[in-house]
Chains A and B, each alone.
Chain A
Amino acid sequence: MERQGAEEHGRRRDRWVTAGLLSPPLAWLFVFFVLPVVFIAAYSVGSVHLFPTDGTFSFDDWHRFLTGGSPYMTLFWKSVRMSLTVSFTVVLLAYPIAYFLALCTRKRKYVLLLLIIVPFLTSYLLRVLAWKVILGESGVINSFLAWSGIRQQPIEWLLYSQFAVMLVLAYVWIPFVALPIFVSLDNVDRRLLEAAGDLGAGRWRAFTRVTLPMSAPGVAAAFIFVFIPTIGEFVTPLLVGGPSGYMYGNAVNDLFTRGLDWQSGSVLAMFMLLVIAALMAIFGRFVQVRSVTS
């Protein structure tokens, strides 16, 4: 009887400890993350009234956006195409790097990994700026071409183009993408590969049957984690994109900072969030940010 009481007491105390641990982070996220997103959702249908020009409750803005060929919708698909191209390229480039680091190096593994990651820890804006200096009309490439006499006219599409935006985005994201792939490959026990070899599998077969499937979660995570920030990107297009590199994120930014049409801006922002939520619902289980089922 007494013992049962003690157990019951212990369990209750346990629950309080868990609640105590979780309430500060969860409270922070509710107030400063969930609530703001709810506000945007409400704003997009006119339920929040902040400025005299704000409309009343209606789905008109959503209707206009989703039907009748809104230019923003065209812009959205253009951004999706650009982000997909960047994500594929970056994953393809980062995979061999991660493979090399995880499975082909031993002692210097983390030093070399650091070498790849350090650029990511330096300023994003500065790395974009570096490309502006390289690609510009009188930039490194064009001034070199002119100096060496290969070409007198500067190549114009180098800067202020979709190409520039995608190149810079790929450059910026490679180090970050190498990381999750590296982690998943680092978990591959080399003895598994040796075992595959002993059982008669060649290296290629061992790669396609053992290594690649084991690294799939890392690859999926890497892909998602480039795709999402690049689809909402507006800084790189502003700096190197020009009119043809204008992306969906720029439209959201402009509606909030210049046009001051917060309601349409909220519609665009909410739509992007819904698309990402759908993506996560479909692919989220492959991503496995962390397997938290202890």
Chain B
Amino acid sequence: MDPAASRGALFGLRAFFVILVAFLYIPILFLAVFSFNAGDPSFPLEGFTLDWYRKFLTNPSLLEALGRSAIVATVSSMLAVTLGVLCSYALVRRRFRAKPAVSSLVFSPLVIPYVVFGISLLVLFTAADKVLTNTFGLVIGLGLHAVVIGHVVVSLPYTILTIMPLLEGLSTSYEEAARDLGASTTQTFRRVTGPLLVPALVSAFLISFTLSFDEYAIASFLSGNSPTWPVYLFAQLRVPSQLPKLLAVSTVVLMVSVILVLIAEVGRRRSERRTGVASVM
């Protein structure tokens, strides 16, 4: 007898699962279908076309926006993962009195609405510029650097949440063995803990990358004159004639992100199998 669900309940759960998956995917499917439709995005369909894809590939400002987001997402995720590893290691492996305070600080970006955080950084940058112009005649201004700074803050808790469980599941005996064999703290981290953490680092990077690539609210306040992809997309959404072209880009972006997620997932499993972390977890 299955202790979790009776046969009837299991059937119900399975049916519900299928319905929910349909609910999640059908709207996305519509986007893809309409991106190949010659007319406006409404029924009946007016015939197959690849025009929208051609138009999007030859639109420099759109490609630029995608490029900007790729840069912002890469840089901010690398920073967030680095800071996240340091923080997770301290929270899991070190003993210190301020631990509760530190952990509530690092997780607090999870509970700030992005609109509030976005305007807060906007005020900070405006204030900093005012001081700098008055004293040195310098201006930092808004732009991609500001977006990166904001995205690191909001990604950081996610990287920590990804890395910490793996670190906790990792028995300290590996590290103790390394130390008994004469390895220093740094050597232990570089040769033992680090490699074992790789799967978590990859997932952490991936999570912050997707978060940053897709983030609109913060970027809308901070990107200044260099719109990231979501900011560009949002501006274009107000122009109905642009819609089909945007659907084409969306379909491509969507496919790429799905492929990336799958690659990362396969990679994570393979490395888990190699290091045997899965069995420790």
Contact = CB atoms under 8 A, between A and B. Distances in A.
Contacts of B253: 122-123, 126
A104 B124 CA distance: 50
A143 B6 CA distance: 42
A19 B177 CA distance: 25
7 contacts: A22-B86, A32-B121, A122-B28, A122-B253, A126-B250, A126-B254, A256-B122
A211 to B, nearest CB: 8
A29 B123 contact: no
A116 interface: yes
A113 B262 CA distance: 12
Nearest to A247: B115
Contacts of A22: 86-87, 90, 102
B239 interface: no
A36 B105 CA distance: 14
Contact of A48 (B2, B44, B106, B127): B127
Interface string B151-162: 011001100010
Contacts, number: 266
Contacts of A217: none
Interface in A213-261: 224-225, 228-229, 231-235, 239, 249, 252-253, 256-257
A203 B14 contact: no
A290 B161 contact: yes
Nearest to B99: A292
Interface residues of A, number: 95
B3 A129 contact: no
B246 interface: yes
A203 to B, nearest CB: 6
Interface of B: 1-6, 9-10, 13-14, 16-17, 20-21, 23-25, 27-28, 30-31, 34, 40-44, 82-84, 86-87, 89-92, 94-96, 99-100, 102-103, 105-117, 119-124, 126-127, 130, 149-150, 152-153, 156-157, 161, 164-165, 168, 185, 210, 214, 216-217, 220-221, 230, 233-234, 237, 243, 246-247, 250, 253-254, 257-258, 261-262, 265
Contact of B124 (A36, A276, A292): A36
B34 A32 contact: no
B115 A289 contact: no
Nearest to B40: A138
Contacts of B261: 114, 118, 121
A41 B233 CA distance: 32
Nearest to B250: A126
Interface of A: 14-15, 17-18, 21-22, 24-26, 28-29, 32-37, 39-40, 43, 48, 50, 93, 96-97, 99-101, 103-104, 110, 112, 114-116, 118-119, 121-127, 129-131, 133-134, 136, 138-140, 143-144, 147, 171, 174-175, 190, 193-194, 196-197, 203, 206, 211, 224-225, 228-229, 231-235, 239, 249, 252-253, 256-257, 262, 265-266, 269, 272-273, 276, 280, 289-290, 292-294
A97 B86 contact: no
Given A93-B20, A203-B6, A100 B113 contact: no
Contact of A193 (B3, B27, B111, B247): B3
B254 A122 contact: yes
A35 B124 contact: yes
